[in-house]
Amino acid sequence: YTVGGMCKGSGMIMPNMATMIAVITTDAHVEPAALHALLLSTVKQTFNKVTVDSDTSTNDTCIMLASGAAAADAEPIVEGSDAFDELAFAVHEVCESLARNIAADGEGASKLVTVNVTGAVNDEEADIAARAVANSPLVKTCIAGHDCNWGRVAMALGKCGVKFNQEDVSIDMMGMPVCRDGLTVPFDEDEALRRFEAPEIVISADLGAGDAATTVWTCDLTHEYISINGDYRS
């Protein structure tokens, strides 16, 4: 069978899809309740982990259609089966690719930004911490300016209210260790500037407080974002 998808999204993305419209399709033969469960689980891990500017609107929609044409005479796929797991993997790959592209194509964006948070007390706090970094104007503008300023990442983590000790925190930017045990780590500024040329900037923070982890996708904040929205009515 085949899984495909398309989506629309540029600004006002978050919380929970916000101004995003997506359609996922497959020709697999799937029991309706299983299809709904599969889509809901996938959206929570993909489309609901995207933020462009933390603003929202009324158009958040994700629809999945299954025609069954690939195996019309076969028994429908149900939860708990190997076929369900295989289909779930394929749907996740499609939705994650689309979600990442929404972030990369955010209004005025020049970089896709991936924020990984590990070591949180629970899933909820991992999500809060990751979104705090992803939504911080100071983090987003330092990326736009190619400034490897890990203090802005630490600031975003510190203000968000999740539980961790400063001396347990480690931060990497673009694969470079910049903070260990809450303290600065010397790094090569020229190498950092070279890594900023990549289309995707990865920020990783380990809070050292637990086992929960998550990933949120966003983009940088550029002058073009202001131009797009400042000239909105002209």
pTM metric for this prediction: 0.95
Domains and CATH numbers, the chain: 3-104 (3.30.2330.10), 112-230 (3.10.20.340)
User: How much is the pLDDT for 58?
Assistant: 79
Task: Give the confidence band of 234 by pLDDT, cuts at 50, 70, 90.
Answer: low
Strand-pair partners of 5: 24
- Of the residues 19, 51, 114, 222, only one is catalytic, namely 19
Tokens at 25, concatenated: 């399709």
The Cα angle at residue 96 between residues 115 and 70, in degrees rounded to 5: 170
- Please name the residue that has the structure tokens 């489309």: 47
pLDDT in tens, 122-181: 999 999 999 999 999 999 999 999 999 999 999 999 999 999 999 999 999 999 999 999
pLDDT in tens, 211-221: 999 999 999 99
**Residue 89: phi, psi to the nearest 5?**
-60, -45
Asked if 184 is an active-site residue, the reply is no
pLDDT over 90 at 232, yes or no = no
Residue 71 CB contacts under 8 Å (≥ 6 apart), including other chains: 1, 28, 29
Contact 22, 98 (CB under 8 A): yes
Angstrom distance (rounded) from CA 192 to CA 188: 6
